[in-house]
Amino acid sequence: MTDSKNKPLDPGQASTTEQAPILPDDAAPPEVEGITPGPSPTSIIADPKPKKVKEKMVEVRLKFDYWPEEGERKSAGEVVEVPVSKAKQLIGQGKAEIPLGEDD
């Protein structure tokens, strides 16, 4: 007869113990935000902030006046450089188009 206490957990079975994140051997130690209250306090690990990735910029010709987040008005007909996500949004709304070169 096997003892159920010494039996390894089935990987498909739920566990009530929170598992520590797996980190590479050469990784810096995680940043700690605080400690949990109670008789057996544990560290609260800070969530690493995602790095901001600079979005690719693209030129569009405005069909309507546009106010970017900076607040400076851009006039209809003007070619402006905006992030790709904003360009897709403006083109989808019919407020801008991809400018064609002089030769096209």
The Cα–Cα gap between 84 and 37 comes to 46
pLDDT tens string 78-95: 999 999 999 999 999 999
One-character DSSP codes across 64-83: S-B--TT---B-TT-EEEEE
Q: Are 54 and 84 in contact, with CB atoms under 8 Å apart? A: no
The better pLDDT of the pair 49, 85 is held by 85
Residue 36 banded pLDDT, cuts 50, 70, 90: low
pLDDT at position 26, please? 78
Q: Are 57 and 82 in contact, with CB atoms under 8 Å apart? A: yes
Q: Are 67 and 74 in contact, with CB atoms under 8 Å apart? A: yes
**% of residues, the chain, pLDDT over 90:** 30
Q: Is 17 helix (H, G, I), strand (E, B) or coil?
A: coil
pLDDT tens string 95-104: 999 998 765 4
